[in-house]
Copies of this chain bind each other. A is one copy, B any other.
Amino acid sequence: MTVSRVLNESPGVKASTRARVLAAVAELGYRPNSAARTLVTGMSRVLGVVAFDTRLYGPATTLFGIEQAARDADYTVRVTTLESTGQNSGGEVMRSLMSESLAGVILSAPHDWAAEALRHLSRNTPVVVVDVDVEQDSAPVVGIAQHAGARQATEHLLSLGHKTVWHVSGPVTWPSARAREAAWHTTLTEAGRMAPPPLRGDWTARSGYEQGKRLVRRKNVTAVFAANDQMALGVLLALREAGLDVPGDVSLVGFDDIPEAAYFWPPLTTVRQDFDEAGRLALDLLMDQIEGTGARDRLTVVQPKLVVRGSTGPAARN
């Protein structure tokens, strides 16, 4: 019992006793058994992180941010990724999470799936959701102001004199893709411009390339906003293969600011999202709930920021 008090830094242990305990711990190489601790306290120092596809830059970086912050708070992280096929139901994953006495859960799956999965989670498990559309009161949310970012991108292109802006969007099942598309659309409409039909991609450079080939067949395209940098890269290649110059003939904006974007040719104008920060913020919100530091905010928003580089320029006089 005294050992337990020493290791948990409970008060009421004489300094000399504490020293003797610590000496014995060091000598014997004693390590407390976390399973026993979890069993008796009913709570572990493990956080569940549910992600969608951690191979993608955004999710991977958010995960990294969460993990680093968790380790600083002396928690460990248990990751579950969801098959890209979406075969495994949210209910199943959530149920398996709940038999493990997790201290909390971070749902970092910016996908419609996540909103559904949230419903299967016990009401009293602390949870934070990253970048997912959920009802305002179902869980604290770390949002990324997709709207603001997409608006900046679109307005930037309009301010350069382009009559309208084409959009290569992300998959409809991703709320962030829908948000970017919606913001692009309203920005154009508010400026009194005609919004051309969006071209649907799937986040990959390949889909950007294919939609880019469709874009070059039209003669009137001078500005394109791609919903992420990878698709922008694909568009870039398609434009180049068609003999078009960027930004001379066509201006292009991406989204995310992946580390490579600054080294595209030309360096890509894009909207920076701080995924790392989003992960850390999610952990903060979760800690507020777990350690009862007082649930401060229920909604925290990360502001994306337009980064102007070489892929955008004034509209050609035609």
Q: Which residues of A contact B (CB under 8 A)?
A: 31-36, 38-39, 44, 46, 53-55, 57, 60-61, 63-64, 67-68, 71, 76-81, 83, 95-96, 98-101, 204-206, 208-209, 230, 233-234, 236-237, 240, 259-260, 262-265, 267
With contacts A99-B33, A263-B209, A263-B237 taken as known, whether A67 is within 8 angstroms of B80 at the C-beta atoms is yes
Q: Are A71 and B80 in contact (CB under 8 A)?
A: yes
Report the Cα distance A34→B95, complex, angstroms: 13
Q: Are B44 and A35 in contact (CB under 8 A)?
A: yes
Q: Which of B68, B83, B95, B263 contacts A81 (CB 8 A)?
A: B68
Q: Are B68 and A83 in contact (CB under 8 A)?
A: yes
Report the Cα distance A54→B279, complex, angstroms: 13
A35 to chain B: which residues have CB within 8 Å? 35-36, 38-39, 44, 100-101
Report the copy number of this chain in the oligomer: 2
A and B contact pairs by CB, cutoff 8 A, 24 listed:
A31-B95, A31-B99, A33-B39, A34-B100, A35-B36, A35-B100, A35-B101, A39-B39, A54-B60, A54-B64, A55-B64, A68-B81, A71-B80, A76-B100, A77-B78, A77-B80, A204-B259, A206-B263, A209-B263, A234-B263, A236-B263, A236-B265, A237-B265, A260-B260
A209 and chain B: residue at smallest CB distance: B263
Q: Are B55 and A60 in contact (CB under 8 A)?
A: yes
Nearest-Cβ distance from residue A269 to partner chain B, whole angstroms:
15
A237 to chain B: which residues have CB within 8 Å? 263-265, 267
Report the Cα distance A206→B100, complex, angstroms: 43
Q: Are B61 and A81 in contact (CB under 8 A)?
A: no
Closest A-B pairs by Cβ, 10 of them: A35-B38, A31-B99, A205-B263, A35-B39, A60-B60, A237-B263, A233-B263, A55-B64, A205-B260, A35-B35
Q: Are B265 and A240 in contact (CB under 8 A)?
A: yes
Q: Are A33 and B76 in contact (CB under 8 A)?
A: no
Q: Which of B32, B44, B63 contacts A54 (CB 8 A)?
A: B63
A260 to chain B: which residues have CB within 8 Å? 205, 230, 233, 260
A33 to chain B: which residues have CB within 8 Å? 39, 99, 101
